[in-house]
Amino acid sequence: EQINSFSELIHKNKVTNYNSKLQQNLKVRNINLNQIGSLCLLDTTEGINCGLVISFTKNIKIEKKNNFQFPYLPILNTKTKNFITFMNSFTQQTYIVLFNNYYLRKNRLFNFYYLGLIKNSFKFKNISLQNIIYIKPIDTFSFSENLIPFLFYNDPARGLMGAKMQSQIVPILKNKKSIIITGYEKNLLNSSNLILKAYQEGIAIYVSAYKIIIRDIYNRKITYFLDKYKRSNHFTILHSKPNVWQGER
């Protein structure tokens, strides 16, 4: 769908969960625990295909053999490391997955039992620091779900409805910055192909309705052409406008 730039992005990040109509039972529609981190828990289609067409999470990677890899944070010496590594669902079964903050001091002193994902089942267990990984709760949702403010203080049905409403909005002529943001709008802009971004730092020396010329730090002229009056698949116009002025760095 090309209703807006957001709906085009989320439709590119969808995957089907079945091969034929004979496998459309409740077992296929349910959420498998080994898919946590790879597929979104809430964002799915409505109606007959509910649970069969699912969205990817926001930081997923796809291997050459079409295996999904999701980001996680390793826990070493009672502290969560800042570097992010990726893991597939097969390697996940050999680790204990935590969703709460294990490195908090009050959790280490008072919480002796932790809710973790151990071999495709949630269990309360007194765990040690061996084979533990930490997945952020925001990494289990898609782009559309992470743009909803106060997502964790609402029920799943409202979160699904909010994701559908964002993909149906109509672009306005004079847009403004939102009052309440979640911080993932920048990741959405970097993933969209409809929004032109400068690949090199420089100064805009020429700005018009059709192109933007930038002189970079190596004294090179880089020209960016804007999309003008292109037809979308919903019989609307894809029209870009410059958001910089001449002389801006």
CATH number, position 205? 2.40.50.100
Residue-range definition of the domain harbouring residue 115: 67-137
Q: Answer whether residue 221 is part of any domain.
A: yes
pTM, entire model: 0.74
- Report the amino acid identity of residue 51: G
Q: Answer whether residue 73 is part of any domain.
A: yes
Kind of pairing between the strands at 202-207 and 211-216? antiparallel
Residue 24: alpha-carbon gap to chain centroid: 26
Q: What is the spatial distance between Cα 44 and Cα 25, in angstroms, rounded to a whole number?
A: 16
The total domain count for the chain is 2
Kind of pairing between the strands at 221-225 and 230-231? unpaired
Q: Answer whether residue 181 is part of any domain.
A: no
Q: Answer whether residue 192 is part of any domain.
A: no
Please classify residue 49 by burial: count the beta carbons closer than 10 Å to its beta carbon, then call 0-12 exposed, 13-18 middle and 19+ buried. Answer: middle
pLDDT tens digits in sequence order for the chain, 249 residues long: 777 777 888 888 888 866 655 556 677 777 777 778 788 888 888 777 787 888 888 878 777 766 778 777 766 655 555 667 777 777 777 777 877 655 556 656 666 677 777 777 777 777 665 677 778 778 888 888 888 888 888 888 888 888 888 888 777 777 777 788 888 887 777 777 778 888 888 999 999 989 999 999 898 999 999 988 888 887 878 888 888 888 888
Nearest Cα residue to 96 out of 82, 115, 70, 71: 115
Q: Answer whether residue 167 is part of any domain.
A: no
Q: Answer whether residue 32 is part of any domain.
A: no
Sorted by sequence, the CB contacts under 8 Å of residue 46 that are 6+ apart come out as 164
| The domain boundary residue, chosen from 137, 158, 182 | 137
| The domain boundary residue, chosen from 91, 122, 137 | 137
Q: Answer whether residue 166 is part of any domain.
A: no
Q: Answer whether residue 83 is part of any domain.
A: yes
Q: What is the spatial distance between Cα 222 and Cα 216, in angstroms, rounded to a whole number?
A: 7
| The domain boundary residue, chosen from 108, 137, 166 | 137
Sorted by sequence, the CB contacts under 8 Å of residue 143 that are 6+ apart come out as 6, 9, 10, 13, 55, 58, 184, 187, 188, 191
